[in-house]
């Protein structure tokens, strides 16, 4: 009964989405669109709760639960298992979309009734497509007769707290950009591309961006400790799929700032708003269609892929056509000099767009080439690193200068004076790194840039009195924290990239191996058991200059479904992580043991989370300003 309630709620929500979409064509459509948006939020919450109930109660008469759950699965993963499969994750997508639609109906009043109705109408069109997709091509509530007594279980790689919360964060980011998209569509239709529009849309972009940042950071951390390879970014198509909307959103909230302050870059900002959510949909399409197969593509189904592709064509094609038709009517904004805050943000957008272009091309190139010539080619880390470094290094260099520049115009000498402390710290950092034995020129450049950016991020507070600290706007705190976060991540990438030491040996109990300053001895290799798996566990006693510790990496064999995973054991500290992996045995009592010393690698994720919090803090500022206006 409860799954049927969920199913019915989805159909009702779809009907409301249709009404909401059509409401935009009526002058008094707001009377329909606002309640429709609010009710959809409630109905989607009901549908999602119904599916959650089926998973938690292990109702195997629901085909999705039978295919993806098991009674012996730990309780947490019964809850999070709801979105660890194709249909469930699409329902989560639609539910987040509905909640954002309801939020937009409540909050987006500042631009007038007509604007809100048209914006909600665009939001309704988007929602309608995804409800159709759910109801026609991937119904999460389909029953199975007869109901099996036991389910087939969940991929053990996904039974992990990191991955449990990675999809919701990412989806809030992806789908949050839909509001930005609808704002852009409404602005184009009503010719309302004004600084007020930019101020109204900015909190939505910042909010979505913060969640995307947190989601990507968490995903990277999960890949690092769960997959057992010690890497933190693999340039996998699915990772790139989340990076592309992030890059577009990063460029977007910077250019929205220019539009809000100076009324300039109107067309460009609109285009970015359309592109950012389009890339979110491309990302969903890539992951969900299995078109670019990768570790994450656990739903390989071409028919669904075509459905999603048609949706993508309608939304992206429609929005870009609208843009092409209307962009010419948007008036130009106030002029500014190349050396100014606006000019700095233009450089930011220029480089970010080039980075986005490279990631897009590199991700889809194998597909293009195979379609055109039938040749198969792989594009992976060596390409992305070589192609992106010449863009990323200057990007980090100029992002230090940006917040220190004045609006409208500034002279080079003034900017130079403000950057003196950063320059001094950057050079000092090279000296320290050289003294500590770092020799790789690339890593030295990374360390120097990190110090340069960190110092400049603190310089954002120059001239502000400590006594009046409460008067400092939230956006200044947010910018400083986010930029400092990027500096911290840069340092982590540079130091761990240059200093990682990896050793591998086939060892029997008593054997030893070393990585960096640490030596591990295999004390024992023994069987172990968990709630739904059996394991082989190695007990490694590690001695180093500063401490002694025991690491216990495992190889787990899951039942239901039968699957093997490596369970790394990591000793994480700010100075570095010691990462231990137990590999396969050779059958004669020796086991492959991998020990990796990764200096300062944790900074990569710490910096990412700092950036995400910085975005949230800045978002508060946007809200306050908007309330002032109302």
Partner 1 sequence: MRALLPLAFLVLTAAAEGPALPPAQEAAARTLMHELRCLVCQHQSIADSDADMAADMRAVVRERIAAGENPEQVKSYLVSRYGDYVTFDPPKTGANLVLWAAPLLFLAIGAVAVWRLYRRKGA
Span 276-315, contacts to partner 1 by CB under 8 A:
293-295, 297
Binding test (CB under 8 A) with partner 1, winner from 155, 440, 519, 566: 566
**Are the C-beta atoms of residues 48 and 166 closer than 8 Å to each other?**
no
The pair of three-digit structure tokens given for residue 246, joined into one six-digit string = 């992030």
Q: Which is nearer to partner 1, 21 or 286 (CB)?
A: 286
Q: Which is nearer to partner 1, 211 or 221 (CB)?
A: 221
Task: Please give the Cα distance from 572 to 119 (Å, whole number).
Answer: 47
Task: Name the minimum Å distance from CB 485 to partner 1.
Answer: 25
Residue 502 has phi, psi (to 5 degrees) of: -120, 130
Ramachandran class of 611: left when φ > 0, alpha when ψ lies in -120 to 50, beta otherwise: alpha
User: Which of 243, 234, 272, 128 has its CA nearest to residue 174?
Assistant: 243
State yes or no: residue 150 binds partner 1 (CB under 8 A): no
State yes or no: residue 365 binds partner 1 (CB under 8 A): yes
CB under 8 Å to 148, separation ≥6 — which residues?
60, 66
Q: Fill in the DSSP letter of residue 405.
A: S
Q: Which is nearer to partner 1, 297 or 445 (CB)?
A: 297
- Buried b / exposed e over 78-102, threshold 16 CB at 10 Å, is bebbbbbbbbbbbbbbbbbbbbbbb
Q: Which is nearer to partner 1, 353 or 521 (CB)?
A: 353
3-state secondary structure of 183: helix
Q: Fill in the DSSP letter of residue 583.
A: E
Task: Name the minimum Å distance from CB 537 to partner 1.
Answer: 11
The pair of three-digit structure tokens given for residue 4, joined into one six-digit string = 């049927």
Task: Please give the Cα distance from 76 to 161 (Å, whole number).
Answer: 8
Task: Please give the Cα distance from 36 to 233 (Å, whole number).
Answer: 41
Judged by CB under 8 A, which stretch of 91-99, 207-215, 306-314, 585-593 contacts partner 1?
585-593
Task: Name the minimum Å distance from CB 357 to partner 1.
Answer: 4
Q: Which is nearer to partner 1, 313 or 442 (CB)?
A: 442
Query: In the stretch 372-411, what mask flags binding to partner 1 with x, by CB under 8 A?
Result: xx-xxxxxxxxx---xx-xx--------------------
Q: What is the CB neighbour count within 10 angstroms for residue 530?
A: 12
Q: Which is nearer to partner 1, 209 or 234 (CB)?
A: 234
Binding test (CB under 8 A) with partner 1, winner from 361, 436, 508, 629: 361
Judged by CB under 8 A, which stretch of 31-39, 468-476, 501-509, 568-576 contacts partner 1?
501-509
Binding test (CB under 8 A) with partner 1, winner from 161, 335, 431, 561: 335
Task: Please give the Cα distance from 561 to 555 (Å, whole number).
Answer: 16
Between the alpha carbon of residue 581 and those of residues 117, 222, 554, 571, the distances in Å are: 56, 15, 7, 12
State yes or no: residue 502 binds partner 1 (CB under 8 A): yes
Task: Name the minimum Å distance from CB 273 to partner 1.
Answer: 18
Q: Which is nearer to partner 1, 388 or 549 (CB)?
A: 388
State yes or no: residue 559 binds partner 1 (CB under 8 A): yes
Q: Count of residues binding partner 1 (CB under 8 A)?
A: 62
Between the alpha carbon of residue 483 and those of residues 95, 337, 487, the distances in Å are: 32, 24, 6
The pair of three-digit structure tokens given for residue 143, joined into one six-digit string = 């029953």
Task: Please give the Cα distance from 140 to 65 (Å, whole number).
Answer: 9
Task: Name the minimum Å distance from CB 354 to partner 1.
Answer: 4
Binding test (CB under 8 A) with partner 1, winner from 2, 398, 444, 504: 504
State yes or no: residue 142 binds partner 1 (CB under 8 A): no
Element (H, E) at 325: helix 302-326
Tell me the β-bridge partners of 535: 528, 556
Task: Name the minimum Å distance from CB 93 to partner 1.
Answer: 22
State yes or no: residue 592 binds partner 1 (CB under 8 A): yes
Task: Name the minimum Å distance from CB 92 to partner 1.
Answer: 23
**Are the C-beta atoms of residues 52 and 79 closer than 8 Å to each other?**
yes
Element (H, E) at 129: helix 113-132
DSSP string of 496-515?
HHHH-EEEEEEE-TT-EEEE
Task: Name the minimum Å distance from CB 238 to partner 1.
Answer: 8
State yes or no: residue 350 binds partner 1 (CB under 8 A): yes
CB under 8 Å to 87, separation ≥6 — which residues?
64, 134, 138, 139, 140
Q: Which is nearer to partner 1, 128 or 264 (CB)?
A: 264
Task: Name the minimum Å distance from CB 237 to partner 1.
Answer: 6
Task: Name the minimum Å distance from CB 421 to partner 1.
Answer: 29
State yes or no: residue 227 binds partner 1 (CB under 8 A): yes
Q: Which is nearer to partner 1, 155 or 294 (CB)?
A: 294
Task: Please give the Cα distance from 572 to 558 (Å, whole number).
Answer: 26
State yes or no: residue 524 binds partner 1 (CB under 8 A): no
State yes or no: residue 234 binds partner 1 (CB under 8 A): yes
Element (H, E) at 599: strand 591-599
Q: Which is nearer to partner 1, 329 or 378 (CB)?
A: 378
Judged by CB under 8 A, which stretch of 228-236, 414-422, 490-498, 540-548 contacts partner 1?
228-236
CB under 8 Å to 219, separation ≥6 — which residues?
162, 163, 166, 170, 239, 242
Span 79-138, contacts to partner 1 by CB under 8 A:
none
The pair of three-digit structure tokens given for residue 279, joined into one six-digit string = 């890339």
Q: Which is nearer to partner 1, 36 or 395 (CB)?
A: 395
Binding test (CB under 8 A) with partner 1, winner from 139, 506, 519, 521: 506
Judged by CB under 8 A, which stretch of 1-9, 74-82, 580-588, 621-629 contacts partner 1?
580-588
Dihedral angle, C-alpha 89, 95, 99, 105, nearest 10 °: 130
Judged by CB under 8 A, which stretch of 330-338, 404-412, 455-463, 483-491 contacts partner 1?
330-338
State yes or no: residue 354 binds partner 1 (CB under 8 A): yes
H helix intervals, 24-112: 30-56, 63-68, 75-80, 86-107
State yes or no: residue 272 binds partner 1 (CB under 8 A): no
State yes or no: residue 412 binds partner 1 (CB under 8 A): no
Task: Please give the Cα distance from 297 to 602 (Å, whole number).
Answer: 27
Q: Which is nearer to partner 1, 543 or 592 (CB)?
A: 592
Binding test (CB under 8 A) with partner 1, winner from 534, 549, 620, 623: 534
State yes or no: residue 351 binds partner 1 (CB under 8 A): yes
- Buried b / exposed e over 157-174, threshold 16 CB at 10 Å, is bbbbebbbbbbbbbbbbb
Span 439-468, contacts to partner 1 by CB under 8 A:
none
Q: What is the CB neighbour count within 10 angstroms for residue 496?
A: 22
Enumerate binding residues for partner 1 (CB under 8 A): 227, 229, 231, 234, 236-237, 293-295, 297, 332, 335-336, 338, 346-347, 350-351, 353-354, 357-358, 361-362, 365, 369, 372-373, 375-383, 387-388, 390-391, 502-506, 527, 529, 534-536, 555, 557, 559, 564, 566, 583-587, 592
């Amino acid at each position: 009964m409860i799954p049927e309630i969920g199913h019915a709620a989805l159909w009702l929500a779809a009907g409301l989405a249709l009404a909401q979409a059509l409401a935009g064509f009526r002058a008094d459509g707001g009377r329909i669109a606002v309640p429709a948006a609010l009710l959809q939020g409630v109905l989607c919450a009901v549908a999602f709760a119904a599916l959650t109930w089926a998973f938690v109660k292990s109702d195997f008469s629901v085909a999705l639960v039978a295919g993806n759950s098991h009674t012996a699965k730990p309780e947490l993963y019964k809850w999070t298992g709801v979105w660890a499969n194709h249909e469930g994750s699409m329902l989560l997508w639609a539910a987040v979309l509905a909640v954002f639609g309801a939020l937009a109906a409540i909050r987006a009043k500042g631009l007038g009734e007509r604007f809100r109705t048209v914006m909600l109408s665009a939001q309704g069109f988007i929602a309608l497509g995804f409800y159709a997709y759910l109801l026609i091509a991937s119904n999460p509530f389909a029953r199975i007769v007869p109901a099996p007594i036991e389910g087939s279980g969940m991929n053990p790689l996904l039974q992990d707290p990191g991955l449990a919360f990675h999809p919701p964060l990412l989806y809030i980011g992806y789908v949050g950009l839909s509001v930005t998209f609808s704002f852009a569509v409404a602005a184009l239709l009503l010719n309302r591309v004004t600084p007020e529009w930019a101020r109204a849309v900015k909190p939505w972009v910042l909010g979505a961006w913060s969640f995307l940042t947190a989601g990507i950071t968490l995903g990277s951390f999960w890949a690092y400790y769960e997959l057992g390879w010690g890497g933190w970014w693999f340039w996998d198509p699915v990772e790139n799929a989340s990076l592309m909307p992030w890059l577009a959103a990063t460029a977007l909230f910077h250019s929205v700032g220019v539009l809000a302050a100076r009324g300039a870059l109107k067309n460009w900002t609109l285009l970015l708003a359309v592109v950012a959510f389009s890339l979110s949909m491309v990302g969903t399409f890539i992951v969900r269609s299995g078109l670019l197969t990768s570790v994450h593509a656990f739903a390989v189904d071409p028919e669904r892929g075509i459905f999603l592709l048609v949706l993508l064509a309608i939304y992206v094609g429609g929005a870009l056509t609208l843009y092409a038709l209307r962009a010419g009517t948007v008036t130009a904004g106030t002029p500014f000099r190349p050396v100014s805050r606006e000019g700095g943000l233009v450089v930011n957008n220029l480089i970010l767009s080039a980075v986005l272009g490279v990631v897009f091309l590199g991700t889809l190139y194998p597909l293009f080439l195979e379609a055109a010539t039938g040749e198969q080619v792989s594009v992976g880390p060596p390409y992305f690193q070589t192609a992106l470094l010449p863009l990323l290094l200057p990007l980090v260099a100029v992002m230090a200068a940006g917040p220190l520049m004045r609006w409208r115009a500034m002279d080079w000498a003034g900017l130079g004076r403000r950057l003196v402390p950063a320059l001094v710290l950057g050079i000092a950092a090279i000296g320290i790194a050289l003294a500590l034995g770092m020799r790789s020129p690339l890593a030295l450049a990374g360390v120097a840039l990190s110090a340069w950016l960190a110092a400049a991020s603190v310089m954002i507070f120059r001239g502000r009195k400590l006594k009046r600290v409460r008067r400092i706007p939230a956006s200044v705190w947010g910018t400083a924290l986010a930029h400092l976060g990027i500096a911290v991540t840069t340092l982590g990438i540079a130091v761990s990239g240059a200093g990682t030491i990896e050793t591998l040996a086939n060892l029997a109990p008593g054997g030893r191996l070393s990585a960096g300053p640490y030596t591990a001895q295999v004390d024992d290799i023994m069987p172990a058991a968990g709630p739904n798996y059996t394991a082989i566990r190695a007990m490694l006693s590690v001695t180093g200059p500063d401490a002694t510790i025991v690491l216990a990496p495992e190889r787990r064999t899951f039942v239901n479904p039968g699957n093997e995973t490596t369970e790394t054991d990591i000793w994480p500290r700010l100075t570095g992580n010691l990462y231990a992996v137990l590999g396969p045995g050779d059958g004669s009592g020796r086991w492959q043991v991998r020990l990796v010393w990764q200096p300062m690698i944790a900074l990569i994720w710490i910096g990412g989370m700092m950036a995400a919090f910085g975005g949230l803090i800045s978002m508060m500022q946007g809200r306050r300003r908007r309330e002032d206006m109302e």
